[in-house]
Chains A and B, each alone.
Chain A
Amino acid sequence: MSAPSYEESCPPPKNLDREKPKTSSPFQTQHSALKTVGNLPPTAYNSASHELRHAPARPRFPTPPRASEAWPRMRVASMTVHNLYLFDRNGVCLHYSEWHRKKQAGIPKEEEYKLMYGMLFSIRSFVSKMSPLDMKDGFLSFQTSRYKLHYYETPTGIKVVMNTDLGVGPIRDVLHHIYSALYVELVVKNPLCPLGQTVQSELFRSRLDSYVRSLPFFSARAG
């Protein structure tokens, strides 16, 4: 269920030069931002005097806006997938694709793959030492203030790593599907795809891309 955009649920009034009626709403201080936005339906104000017939109290919107944001840019929370890595047991990056990535690592791609693999290897060994009980699935995911990294490893050492937005919950089954229905079916079972190297298969690339785009938490808008 997606919340309607602010403009749909409460179109702001057209002309706001006059004094606004004093209410305790926190939105009242943002007149200038509102001036740039669309029209009020004509019945709401008296066209002869260009005054609001009844000053409608602004409906209490669930989340108070940040002062620096103008209304039109208020966005509905969009979840998205940033990028995906696929590694084999020797650390070779079999595949990398990105969808919405705002910041590059600042190092060449080859080094970034090695750094990512090394980080995951260290996290796995860290987790196995730290764990107070015996582990079954091991390391699942980590999150920072801006992204969440999901991890899935098969018993053969194939690692599927996906970076998503913070709003995404556990997606172990998605990563498992990427391994079993895409990697195994299209790459392992393909006699012309040599294992242990970067996957060249265009079919794999396009199927993976369309699968990720079809995920419920993938938003096409770079939010």
Chain B
Amino acid sequence: MAIFSVYVVNKAGGLIYQWDSYSPRAEAEKTFSYPLDLLLKLHDERVLVAFGQRDGIRVGHAVLAINGMDVNGKYTADGKEVLEYLGNSANYPVSIRFGRPRLTSNEKLMLASMFHSLFAIGSQLSPEQGSSGIEMLETDTFKLHCFQTLTGIKFVVLADPRQAGIDSLLRKIYEIYSDFALKNPFYSLEMPIRCELFDQNLKLALEVAEKAGTFGPGS
């Protein structure tokens, strides 16, 4: 999917809505024999590869599953500690799936707030008068587009670098927000958005954006 995720940040910097596409991140499953030739370490309640890049397994990848069963943080599905389990030669040969760790919702909250601050610093360090904050951030794997409304709400979209039409998509998301979140009498401002119609219409808009790339004036 060319659009990876959508974040909506309120004017205080808190995340009020988040959507991720379910595309599989880079994953690799391999069978290993004792001893493991990768160095694993525990970091942030996850078991990550610290050293030993090979065959699609990179530094920073997390242990996602052991013998087909998803791990639960640093514990296996049975409740044993992953590092202890993999340190025991009796458990080998073992099949481990590695991949980029998915973000937990706490991490998403922190990243949204971090972006809120970076947006402001980008405007402060500007060498030109009257600069806005960061509107587009480019890396080699994704492009982040941000639209800040006059009321301080930021709509952030992460997409493929080649995806076009994100500016109109951001305006469209703003329209959907004002139609289905703000006009909802049970929605309080600046609070997390829990409106079904908002979700539905957002997904429709994302599908349209991926296929066509542009929205008509009356859509």
Binding site for B on A (CB under 8 A): 82-83, 98, 100-103, 105-106, 112, 115-116, 119, 122-123, 126-147, 149, 163
**A144-B131 contact, Cβ under 8 Å, with A126-B118, A132-B4, A133-B100:** yes
A139 touches B124 (CB 8 A): no
Q: Does B142 contact A (CB under 8 A)?
A: yes
Contacting residue for B138 out of A100, A133, A140, CB 8 A? A140
**A130-B142 contact, Cβ under 8 Å, with A123-B137, A139-B137, A142-B122:** yes
Nearest-neighbor residue (CB-CB) of A132 within chain B: B4
Inter-chain contacts of B142 with A (CB < 8 A) = 130-133
Chain B residues numbered 99-145 whose CB sits less than 8 Å from any CB in chain A: 100, 103, 107, 111, 114-115, 117-118, 121-142, 144
Inter-chain contacts of A129 with B (CB < 8 A) = 103, 107, 111
Inter-chain contacts of B111 with A (CB < 8 A) = 126, 129-130
Min C-beta distance of A147 to chain B, whole Å: 5
B25 touches A122 (CB 8 A): no
Binding site for A on B (CB under 8 A): 4, 23, 25-26, 58, 60, 100, 103, 107, 111, 114-115, 117-118, 121-142, 144, 158
Q: How far is the CA of A29 from the CA of B115 in the complex (A)?
A: 46
Nearest-neighbor residue (CB-CB) of A127 within chain B: B139
* Interface residues of B, dominant DSSP: loop
Nearest-neighbor residue (CB-CB) of A142 within chain B: B137
Min C-beta distance of A162 to chain B, whole Å: 11
The 13 sampled A-B contact pairs (Cβ below 8 Å) are A103-B127, A119-B118, A119-B125, A131-B142, A133-B26, A134-B60, A138-B140, A141-B137, A142-B122, A142-B134, A143-B134, A143-B138, A144-B131
Inter-chain contacts of A163 with B (CB < 8 A) = 127
Q: How far is the CA of A132 from the CA of B22 in the complex (A)?
A: 11
B125 touches A116 (CB 8 A): yes
Count CB-based A-B contacts (< 8 Å): 117
Min C-beta distance of A105 to chain B, whole Å: 6
A146 touches B144 (CB 8 A): no
**A102-B129 contact, Cβ under 8 Å, with A123-B118, A130-B158, A143-B136:** yes
B125 touches A115 (CB 8 A): yes
Min C-beta distance of B81 to chain A, whole Å: 25
A144 touches B26 (CB 8 A): no
Inter-chain contacts of A116 with B (CB < 8 A) = 125
Nearest-neighbor residue (CB-CB) of A99 within chain B: B127
A127 touches B137 (CB 8 A): yes
Contacting residue for B118 out of A122, A132, A136, A145, CB 8 A? A122
Q: How far is the CA of A144 from the CA of B145 in the complex (A)?
A: 10
Contacting residue for B135 out of A106, A132, A136, A144, CB 8 A? A144
Min C-beta distance of A102 to chain B, whole Å: 5
Contacting residue for A147 out of B107, B126, B141, B158, CB 8 A? B126
Min C-beta distance of B146 to chain A, whole Å: 10
A83 touches B140 (CB 8 A): no
Q: How far is the CA of A116 from the CA of B121 in the complex (A)?
A: 8
Inter-chain contacts of A105 with B (CB < 8 A) = 124-125
Q: How far is the CA of A115 from the CA of B120 in the complex (A)?
A: 12
Nearest-neighbor residue (CB-CB) of A141 within chain B: B138
